[in-house]
Amino acid sequence: MTATTFNFDSQEHKAYEKTPAAKSIASPAGIWIAYENQQLAGWYEGKELEGGKEYKVLTNKLDENDEKIGIPGVIYRQPRMLVIGRSPLLYGIDKKVIGVWRKDEGLDKNSYKFARRYMVIFVDAKNQPLHIAPVQITAWGVFQVSFDQQLMEFRETCEQVYADVQRKPCEAKTLLWHSMWVFCPELKTEKRKSRDGQESNACVCVGFEKPTVPNWEDYCIGRQAHAQDIAVLHNSITEWWRKGLKSSSSTQRVETCNRDSLMMQSQQLIETLGWNQEKGKQYLMENYGKRGRQMLSDAEFVDFVRKLQSMQVPDDDEVGYWEDVLY
């Protein structure tokens, strides 16, 4: 559907209750999306493998032959995408996002992992969208850091190239303007060490295809007919990244000054998890070296409650099999 044509019968009018999701794969390095998520995103017929390759990701679940069950999907080793949304820095535990990271909250950064969410539209070699609804990529760890660094450098490059084309001084542009540029990240498998010293493969973004003055329009859809459609999508996803995050209206706010409140709150969360007394003591010993909540400092108590909150059944409507997929 073009920006000037309305088609009442178009598939583009489908409402999406769940957020289609994609994720990075360490080896081979790439962005992977399950077929189910492609369907949710309204992939255009015949375009399912455009720019990608069939790839099955193994899960921790076993079939009747005790073999790991695989989830069919598509991997993009050289993805082309319009990044129409970028979240603030988020933090979480075990691939579950808790909330927005704020330094002034006094949390121990070594107790958490960090992520960003990106909303993207995959495009073909001619920069035509491959699907209708945006796809969310939740990037963690090394991939998040490297992907974001390269994305920011790409945006600076676009601003400079456009300024050179216009023969004007370079100036900062809006997020909507940047949504019109096709980001082509270069992904590579590298060995990285985790905090516990274990070495494993990681998907790392090591660069991107750089637009230049002669070819800049090969990486920009700003003057093409479907730019209006992308603008509508960009403007429709205000605070999309908040989905699934616990808010003060749905969850008691963690306070450092009221230990009685923390005790009651932690007890409710423990009961919801179905932990017995021994399980609770074991968790406290493993994480804080203490056998009782009364022995925790105020900061440790707040941290303990936040971790309990992160273990609750998530209400995120993103589809991605994250608990099952091997990283």
Does residue 251 lie in a domain region?
A: no
Confidence (pTM): 0.73
> Per-10-residue mean pLDDT for the chain, 327 residues long?
57 64 95 95 94 91 82 96 95 81 74 90 97 94 96 98 96 95 98 78 96 97 94 87 61 52 80 81 83 80 76 47 36
Structural domain count of the chain = 2
Q: What is the pLDDT of residue 250?
A: 37
Q: Please indicate, yes or no, whether residues 90 and 230 belong to a single structural domain of this protein.
A: yes
Q: Please indicate, yes or no, whether residues 155 and 297 belong to a single structural domain of this protein.
A: no
Q: How far apart are CA 26 and CA 117, in angstroms?
A: 18
Does residue 250 lie in a domain region?
A: no
Q: Which of 201, 221, 245 is the last residue of a domain?
A: 245
Structure tokens at 283: 């968790």
Helix, strand, coil in percent for the chain, rounding step 5: 30, 30, 40
Does residue 320 lie in a domain region?
A: no
Q: 28 preceded by cis ω (within 30°)? A: yes
Q: Please indicate, yes or no, whether residues 161 and 221 belong to a single structural domain of this protein.
A: yes
What is the DSSP secondary-structure string of 166-185? HTS------HHHHTTBEE-E
Does residue 296 lie in a domain region?
A: yes
Q: What is the pLDDT of residue 298?
A: 74
CB neighbour class for 28 (10 Å; exposed up to 12, middle 13-18, buried from 19):
middle
3-state SS class at 78: coil
Structural element, H or E, at residue 265: helix 259-273
Q: Please indicate, yes or no, whether residues 272 and 225 belong to a single structural domain of this protein.
A: no
Q: What is the pLDDT of residue 40?
A: 92
Q: Please indicate, yes or no, whether residues 85 and 210 belong to a single structural domain of this protein.
A: yes
Q: What is the pLDDT of residue 314?
A: 44
Dihedral (Cα; 194, 199, 200, 204), 10-degree rounding: 60
Does residue 6 lie in a domain region?
A: no
Q: Which of 268, 247, 266 is CA-nearest to residue 99?
A: 247
Q: Please indicate, yes or no, whether residues 179 and 289 belong to a single structural domain of this protein.
A: no
Q: Which of 245, 271, 296 is the last residue of a domain?
A: 245
Q: Please indicate, yes or no, whether residues 166 and 284 belong to a single structural domain of this protein.
A: no
Q: How far apart are CA 122 and CA 136, in angstroms?
A: 11
| CA 213 from centre of chain | 32
Domain holding 305, by residue range, is 259-310
Q: Please indicate, yes or no, whether residues 123 and 147 belong to a single structural domain of this protein.
A: yes
Does residue 185 lie in a domain region?
A: yes
Backbone angles phi, psi at 218, to 5 degrees: -70, -15
Does residue 253 lie in a domain region?
A: no
Q: Please indicate, yes or no, whether residues 127 and 233 belong to a single structural domain of this protein.
A: yes
What is the DSSP secondary-structure string of 97-113? EEEE--GGG---GGG-E
Q: Please indicate, yes or no, whether residues 158 and 305 belong to a single structural domain of this protein.
A: no
Backbone angles phi, psi at 306, to 5 degrees: -60, -40
Strands annotated E in the chain: 19-25, 30-34, 53-62, 68-76, 81-86, 90-93, 96-100, 113-122, 135-140, 182-183, 185-193, 199-208, 318-319
Q: Please indicate, yes or no, whether residues 295 and 147 belong to a single structural domain of this protein.
A: no
Q: Please indicate, yes or no, whether residues 218 and 274 belong to a single structural domain of this protein.
A: no
Q: Write the CA distances from 140 to 13, 94, 253, integer angstroms.
A: 32, 10, 25
Does residue 317 lie in a domain region?
A: no
Q: Which of 223, 245, 267 is the last residue of a domain?
A: 245
